[in-house]
A and B are shown apart, each in its own frame.
Chain A
Amino acid sequence: MEPLLKVKNLTMNFGGLRALDRLDLDVYAAEIVALIGPNGAGKTTFFNCITGIYPPTEGDMVISPPGKKRERLNGLKPNHVTERGLARTFQNIRLFLNMTVLENVMIGRHCRMSAGIAGAIFRGPDTVKEEKAVVRDSYMILEKIGITDFVNELAMNLPYGAQRRLEIARAMATEPFMLLLDEPAAGMNPQETKELDDLIIWIRDNEKIAILLIEHDMKLVMSLSDRIYVVDYGKKIAEGTPEEIKNNPAVIKAYLGEEIDA
């Protein structure tokens, strides 16, 4: 079976600094894949390359969306990547703070709508129908994510946990076939993390969206993931199931260092 996302040989140089070094990574349908590694290993850079923010120095990134033909991501602008069905959240929350929660999600629907200037000014029947649908669909997403209490609240007034969830809701509004979550559990307490765990699994199973996530919370990673990739200094140092990774000496070395013989 074709992977939804196939990354081969991805290399990213910033001047003299090699942030990604011939990285290979695949994500298959109905999978939750985790990308872990020490800080500075290149994980967010990886996301930025896939989503078109940086053009990679070398390598191929190919997607095979369900029901559509294969396509190369290299050279696509970020908004085109999202149109193709890859949506992301950010390590440092990047919400539209002066817009309401509902409007944030409605922005996610932008690329699936078609109203233009004429539609905006004349509000013909098509546009009116579309606007109604957008409001309804956005609300439904908020229901699924569980933050309808805040629907008319400005995003900047939300508690931290709700803001993280809103980012996920917004990304889901773009109708992706795959979600890229960058440290979704950062700063969450154990209760919130447990809820996030359930939410992500629910997204995979009910919404049929594959998930690629960057995380530092090992408990969450081990409990959620179907497969894990470990990177350090931009290189893949291990790949496998949670069980395999837990016992992999290279991984242990990268995180904890080598044992010093006393």
Chain B
Amino acid sequence: MEYFLELFLGGLTRGSIYALIALGYTMVYGIIELINFAHGEIYMIGAFTALIVASVLTMLGWNHIAILLIASIVAVIYSSAYGYTVEKLAYKPLRQAPRLSALISAIGMSLFLQNYVLLAQTSDFLPFPSLIPDFKFWEPYSHIISSSELVILITTAIVMILLTFLIKFTKIGKAMRATAQDRNMAMLVGVDVDRVISVTFLVGSATAALGGVLIASHIGQINFYIGFIAGIKAFVAAVLGGIGSIPGAVLGSLVLGWTESFFTGYVSSDYEDVFAFLFLVFILIFRPAGILGRSETEKV
């Protein structure tokens, strides 16, 4: 029973991280119908930036909580900046071009960012300091779920709430929803579509960066390649839940997190990635709209 609980909570944690990344995918897809291949790299850059900031601050002797906060904030700022820049360079010029072009451009960006970090930093796995402290009050429960896992869950929940608030109740959120539904119409009624798209990228990148910092802290090491696999899995999650739907991204992430956790726990851990890919293939073939997605019928 305890093993089950362990796997369940492990899946929940996984799912939370995927959710933080998947949100970015789903929001961007909802707005400009592009799979942002480079999104995984934004996540990775968030983790790296946090590592760099944390290292510098550790050297200066700051305390852990402060480092965690500052590193997270800086990581979020930088990832958002990268996301914003990527959009302006690689996607904006291609808004009127066929979708294939934008997709290829996204692949190119992903390739570029990975190698950029690889060359500027290193190809090695770098240890990431465990910034999340072990809370004293949580001690009795820490064998079921560790402090860092708890922080991940709480952070994800808070992000969800904030995001829902943003989308549902703010002016920019309304503009985002309008642009996602009909870009040309939104333009005609005065929505600054460029700004809305930029904001979407900023927010999506920010949540991914948070995910990067948290998971790096939890797992304890990062390298330039982590964006690729995490990106694919988060994409699976977004599609599973229904791409374009924010609650869908969360739901899909949790489902993927749990199924992965139980699969590797009870069946095999060698084929973990194969499982994720096969899962993706099945969803896309049998229910491309996802759990909460709307079936898109093309207007002829």
Contact = CB atoms under 8 A, between A and B. Distances in A.
Q: Is the interface of A mostly helix, strand, loop or mixed?
A: mixed
A99 interface: no
Contacts of A14: 297
B1 interface: no
Interface in B247-300: 297, 300
A48 B297 contact: no
A150 interface: no
B182 to A, nearest CB: 16
Interface in A36-53: 44, 48, 53
Contacts of B297: 14
Nearest to B298: A53
A90 B298 CA distance: 14
Nearest to B295: A15
Interface string A52-72: 010000000000000000000
A82 to B, nearest CB: 14
A44 B297 CA distance: 14
B100 to A, nearest CB: 13
B299 to A, nearest CB: 9
A35 B300 CA distance: 18
Interface in A138-164: none
Contacts of A44: 300
A48 B300 CA distance: 8
A90 B300 CA distance: 8
Contacts of B300: 44, 48, 53, 90
B280 to A, nearest CB: 27
Interface string A96-114: 0000000000000000000
A53 B298 CA distance: 10
3 shortest interchain CB distances as A-B pairs: A48-B300, A53-B300, A90-B300
5 contacts: A14-B297, A44-B300, A48-B300, A53-B300, A90-B300
